[in-house]
Structure formats: structure tokens, C-alpha cells
């Protein structure tokens, strides 16, 4: 009796077929997982920016930020949230910062800056037809894609 070492061609083909089936099943799962991670990052970024915009508005309404009589009280740009604004209630004191940095839209073009990755809505524009303008009332994603929940990212 002679023993043969190694695998036969049939065994190798069966192993390759099994690996191919496993890879075919794993790819959609990985894509969905990566998309969920991006959606989570989008939710967090939208929440953080919107909370900072609301905090800026509260500070303006509370007299801590100088605004003109015809201004809405919302920041003129997203960079106002990170730039530091002099606190009118404590002259010479620390500046007011509303965000450490502007988070970027995870679905935006990587070549764009974090500020330019967002679409902005001014205070007096309707929610169903947002328009950029002289202040930033809200932000939303520029992505034309639809989320896993069936809602377009631009409507989040």
C-alpha cells in the first residue's frame, strides 16, 4: 500500500467553490455594515451641528452675541460655530465656542472641505425647498442617495 500526500483536484475545486460561496455571502453583509457606519456618522454629525446652531441662537437671544436688529440670530456661516465669539455678558472673558470642529458629511465628496460638504438652509426658506442665504438655520446632506430606512439622506 502506498500513501499519497496532498489533495486531489476534486477536493481543491470543492474547497474553492465553498470559499467562493462564502465570499459571495459576505460581500453584501460588509457593504451594509459599512453603510450603517456612515449613516451613524451622518446622524451624529447632523445632531452635533444642529445643537451648535441652536446654542448659538440661544446665546444671541440671551444677549451674549451682538446681532443687528434685522438679523435672525442664527450664525452667518458654519465657521462662526468654531471661530469663537466674544461674550457680551463677560467683556474680556473667554470667547464662546459652539463646536471644536465642523464634522464632515460622510457621504460627501472627500475633496470638499467639511464646511462645503453640507448643504445649508437659511432661516426664512421653507423646509421642502431649502435655500442657502445670509444665515445658517439648518444643514442637510447633499447626497442623492437614499438611506437604509428608505428616506433620502437630504431629508434627514
Supply the pTM of this predicted model: 0.81
What's the average model confidence in pLDDT over 83-87?
89
Instruction: Tell me what pLDDT residue 2 has.
Output: 62
Q: Is residue 151 part of a domain?
A: yes
Q: How far apart are CA 65 and CA 62, in angstroms?
A: 8
SS3 label, residue 111: coil
Instruction: Report, in angstroms and rounded to the nearest whole number, the Rg of the chain calculated over CA atoms.
Output: 26
Q: Is residue 3 part of a domain?
A: no
Q: Is residue 48 part of a domain?
A: yes
- Lowest-pLDDT choice from 22-36, 72-86, 98-112, 130-144: 22-36
Q: Length of the chain in residues, anyone? A: 156
Q: Count up the domains in the chain and report the number.
A: 1
List, in sequence order, every residue forming a beta bridge with 140; answer none if it has no partner: 119
Mean model confidence pLDDT for the chain: 91
SS3 label, residue 22: helix
Q: Is residue 1 part of a domain?
A: no
Domain residues for the domain of 80 are: 9-155
Q: How far apart are CA 80 and CA 77, in angstroms?
A: 6
- Residue-wise pLDDT for 103-145, tens only, equals 999 999 999 999 999 999 999 999 888 999 899 999 999 999 9
C-beta atoms surrounding 136 within 10 Å? 26
Amino acid at each position: 500500500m502506498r500513501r499519497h500526500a496532498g489533495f486531489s483536484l476534486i477536493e481543491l475545486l470543492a474547497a474553492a467553490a465553498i470559499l467562493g460561496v462564502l465570499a459571495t455571502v459576505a460581500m453584501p453583509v460588509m457593504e451594509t455594515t459599512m453603510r450603517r457606519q456612515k449613516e451613524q456618522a451622518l446622524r451624529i454629525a447632523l445632531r452635533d451641528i444642529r445643537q451648535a446652531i441652536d446654542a448659538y441662537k440661544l446665546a444671541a437671544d440671551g444677549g451674549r452675541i451682538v446681532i443687528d436688529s434685522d438679523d435672525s440670530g442664527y450664525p452667518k456661516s458654519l465657521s462662526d460655530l468654531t471661530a469663537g465669539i466674544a461674550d457680551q455678558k463677560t467683556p474680556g472673558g473667554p470667547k464662546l465656542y459652539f463646536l471644536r470642529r465642523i464634522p464632515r458629511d460622510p457621504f460627501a465628496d472627500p475633496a470638499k472641505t467639511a464646511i462645503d460638504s453640507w448643504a445649508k438652509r437659511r432661516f426664512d426658506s421653507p423646509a421642502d425647498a431649502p435655500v442657502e442665504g445670509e444665515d445658517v438655520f439648518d444643514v442637510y446632506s447633499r447626497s442623492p442617495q437614499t438611506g437604509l430606512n428608505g428616506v433620502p439622506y437630504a431629508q434627514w
